[in-house]
Amino acid sequence: MIGIIDYHLNNLRSVQKAFEKVGFPSFISDNPNELMKAEKLVLPGVGAFGTAMENLNVLGLKDVLDDHVSSGKPLLGICLGMQLLFTKSYELGEYAGLNFINGEVKQFPSTVKVPHMGWNQVEIVNQSPLLKDVEEKSFVYFVHSYFVEPRENVTLTQTEYGFRFASIVEQGNIYGIQFHPEKSQKTGLQLLRNFAGI
Amino acid sequence: MIGGFANHKISQSKNLKNIFVLAKRIIPCLDVDKGRVVKGTNFVGLVDAGDPVQQAKFYDAEGADELIFLDITASSDNRSTMVDVVRRTAEEVSIPFTIGGGIRTTDDMREMLRSGADKVSINTAAVKNPQLIIDGAERFGVQCIVVAIDAKKVSDGKWKVFVNGGRTETELDAIEWATNVERLGAGEIMLTSMDRDGTKDGYDLELLKKVCASVKFRSSPAAGQEVSSICTMHLPSPMLMRFLRHQSFISGGSRFNRQKIF
Reply yes or no on whether the pLDDT at B214 is more than 90. Answer: no
Rounded-to-integer distance, Cα A89 and Cα A102, Å: 11
Pinpoint the alpha helices (H) of chain B: 16-19, 52-62, 79-92, 106-115, 124-128, 131-140, 174-184, 205-214, 246-252
Question: pLDDT tens-digit profile of A3-54?
Answer: 999 988 766 888 999 999 999 999 999 999 999 999 999 999 777 888 899 9
Q: What angle do CA B123, B146, B13 make, to 5 degrees?
A: 120
CB pairs under 8 A between A and B: 105
For the four alpha carbons of B24, A123, A162 and B222, in that order, the dihedral sign comes to negative
Rounded-to-integer distance, Cα A9 and Cα A84, Å: 13
Q: Do B19 and A162 touch (CB under 8 A)?
A: yes
Q: Is A183 helix (H, G, I), strand (E, B) or coil?
A: helix
Contact A122, A137 (CB under 8 A): yes
Reply yes or no on whether the pLDDT at B182 is more than 80. Answer: yes
CB atoms within 10 A of CB B6: 7
Rounded-to-integer distance, Cα B218 and Cα B236, Å: 7
Number of residues assigned to chain A = 198
Q: Which residues of B touch A117 (CB under 8 A)?
A: 22, 143, 187-188, 237
Q: Do A118 and B8 touch (CB under 8 A)?
A: no
Q: Do B21 and A109 touch (CB under 8 A)?
A: no
Q: B131-140 and B106-115 are packed helices; what angle lies between their axes, rounded to 10 degrees? A: 40
Question: Cβ of B14 under 8 Å from any chain A Cβ?
Answer: no
Rounded-to-integer distance, Cα A195 and Cα B108, Å: 36
Strand partners of residue B163: B168
Question: Cβ of B60 under 8 Å from any chain A Cβ?
Answer: yes
The HSE-up count of residue B60 (CA atoms within 13 Å, CB side) is 22
Q: Do A119 and B217 touch (CB under 8 A)?
A: no
Q: Do A162 and B8 touch (CB under 8 A)?
A: yes
Contact B256, B227 (CB under 8 A): no
Q: Do B238 and A113 touch (CB under 8 A)?
A: yes
Q: What is the CA radius of gyration of chain B?
A: 18
In 3-state terms chain B splits into helix, strand, coil percentages (rounded to 5) of 35, 25, 40
User: Which one of A17, A115, A161 has the shortest CB-CB distance to B21?
Assistant: A161
- Any residues with CB less than 8 A from the CB of A177 and at least 6 apart, and which? A76, A77, A78, A79, A82, A167, A168, A191
Is A79 an annotated catalytic residue?
yes
In 3-state terms chain A splits into helix, strand, coil percentages (rounded to 5) of 30, 35, 40
> In the prediction, which pLDDT does B1 show?
32
Q: Which residues of A touch B237 (CB under 8 A)?
A: 113, 117-118
Q: Which residues of A touch B118 (CB under 8 A)?
A: 143, 183
CB atoms within 10 A of CB B46: 16
Min distance A101 CA to chain B CA atoms (Å)? 14
Question: pLDDT tens-digit profile of A148-187?
Answer: 999 999 999 999 998 999 999 999 999 999 999 999 989 9
A106: enclosing H helix or E strand: strand A101-107
Question: Amino acid identity of A186?
Answer: K
Q: Which residues of B touch A90 (CB under 8 A)?
A: none
B115 vs B16, higher pLDDT: B115
Q: Which residues of B touch A153 (CB under 8 A)?
A: 1
- The domains of chain A are located at 2-197
Rounded-to-integer distance, Cα B98 and Cα B32, Å: 13
Strand partners of residue A117: A143
Q: Is B237 helix (H, G, I), strand (E, B) or coil?
A: coil
Q: What is the CATH number of domain A2-197?
A: 3.40.50.880
Q: Do A155 and B65 touch (CB under 8 A)?
A: no
pTM of structure: 0.75
Which residue of chain A comes nearest to B92, CA vs CA? A17
CB atoms within 10 A of CB A24: 17
Contact B212, B182 (CB under 8 A): no
Which residue of chain B comes nearest to A106, CA vs CA? B4
- Is the bond preceding residue A115 a cis peptide, omega within 30 degrees? yes
Question: pLDDT tens-digit profile of A71-106?
Answer: 999 999 999 999 999 999 998 889 999 999 999 999
Q: Do A21 and B94 touch (CB under 8 A)?
A: yes
Phi, psi (deg, nearest 5) at residue A117: -135, 125
Q: Which residues of A touch B65 (CB under 8 A)?
A: 119, 141
Question: pLDDT tens-digit profile of B109-152?
Answer: 988 988 889 889 999 999 999 999 999 987 787 778 899 888 89
Is A116 an annotated catalytic residue?
no
A48 vs B55, higher pLDDT: B55
Rounded-to-integer distance, Cα A169 and Cα A105, Å: 13
Q: Is the ipTM of this complex over 0.85?
A: no
